[in-house]
Amino acid sequence: MTVTDLQGPHVVLLATGGTISSRAAEAGGAAVASDTGEQVFAGMGIPARHPVRVVDVFRKGSYLLTVEDMIAICAKVRQALAHPQVLGIVVTHGTDTMEETAYLMDLIHDDPRPVVFTGAQHPADSQAPDGPDNLARAIAVAGSPQARGKGVLLAFAGTIYPAAGVRKSHTTRLDAFANPDFGTAGSVSGSGDVSLDRARPAYDPFPLPGAAAGSPRVDLIAAYPGSDSTLLRASLQAGAAGIVLQGTGTGNANRTMCRAVADASAAGVVVVTSTRVEAGAVVPRYGDGGGEDLRAAGAISSGLLRPSQSLVLLSLLLRLGTPQHRIADTFALRGKVP
């Protein structure tokens, strides 16, 4: 059932759009986020494990979100948690960038009550939508006493993941997410039985910056066979304050890109090296344009954080005015398994 007031313990559902809310305007047409939060909740078709209060944030495919949108979602979460009767929060979100918003929320979360992200792979008007089941399970997690103190979680297809390290690993499969380095946090059954087996790392939360215009620009640049410094230097000319370099292997590039990274670092631009590889840490090991040369040029290793979450962490730190040596320390801390 849904509740409209704040009397009694309940879960808050923050609806932001995504496939779970999407329908085609005409038969065979493209799916677009269109259902309200109440419609998404009603689509479960079964009683929720806990009373739920629904709040609409916006209706967008997550491929449209900006960092400012993600900050707005996090602000809504904090606003909802201001009410003492709230057991926890569920955020329905598109899967494309769920890993970014969930990680941003994890970085600033300072409350023992859980925040659980979920969504769907099939639209609401498909023959077999998976959103209703994912939502029912996420509500069960958000209201569970076991989830207190576990931080920000992602619940999808019965598996519960910690926000750090989670990533979309398949474009269409129902079990769309993985977390090869940081592991899973537990599971939730179709009947709402929750099993959680890991505690949240004891990191100090960051403040949530305002979604102000003119925030520092952070770009993602890929290294690939034959890549040169054209895109990286274009990013600098566009005014980037930070760059995440998606390296190959253990975090490698080439001599030309290393020279551009050195120029960027000398100009005060923060460069973080991540990797396109699915799992494993960025390890500065190779010369001749490899990861050790990138480190010598001033690049910071992302550790186990992949490009998507490296961009989120760097964007947050730059918005908070963090000096470069503290940014390096933060990646060293957050980019390893606790």
Each residue's pLDDT, cut to its tens digit, for the chain (338 residues) gives 666 666 799 999 999 999 999 999 777 789 999 999 999 999 999 999 999 999 999 999 999 999 999 999 999 999 999 999 999 999 999 999 999 999 999 999 999 999 999 999 999 999 999 999 999 999 999 999 999 999 999 999 999 999 999 999 999 999 999 999 999 999 999 999 999 997 777 899 999 998 665 689 999 999 999 999 999 999 999 999 999 999 999 999 999 999 999 999 999 999 999 999 999 999 999 999 999 999 999 999 999 999 999 999 999 999 999 999 999 999 999 999 87
- The per-residue pLDDT for 210 is 81
CATH 3.40.50.40 residue ranges of the chain are 218-334
| Per-residue model confidence (pLDDT) at position 214 | 64
Tell the burial category of 169 from Cβ atoms under 10 Å away from its Cβ (0-12, 13-18, 19+): middle
Question: Quick check: is 19 catalytic?
Answer: yes
Which CATH code is given to the segment(s) 10-196?
3.40.50.1170
| pLDDT for the residue 61 | 96
As annotated, the residues of the chain forming the CATH 3.40.50.1170 domain(s) are 10-196
Phi, psi at 21, each rounded to 5°: -110, 10
Q: Active site residue: 16, 19, 92, 101, which one?
A: 19
**Using an 8 Å Cβ cutoff, are 89 and 114 in contact?**
yes
CATH class of 218-334: alpha beta
Of 158, 143, 195, nearest in space to 12 by CA: 143
Task: Indicate the helix (H) or strand (E) that contains 39.
Answer: helix 37-42
CB 73 within 8 A of CB 49: no
Q: Are the C-beta atoms of 127 and 91 separated by less than 8 Å?
A: no
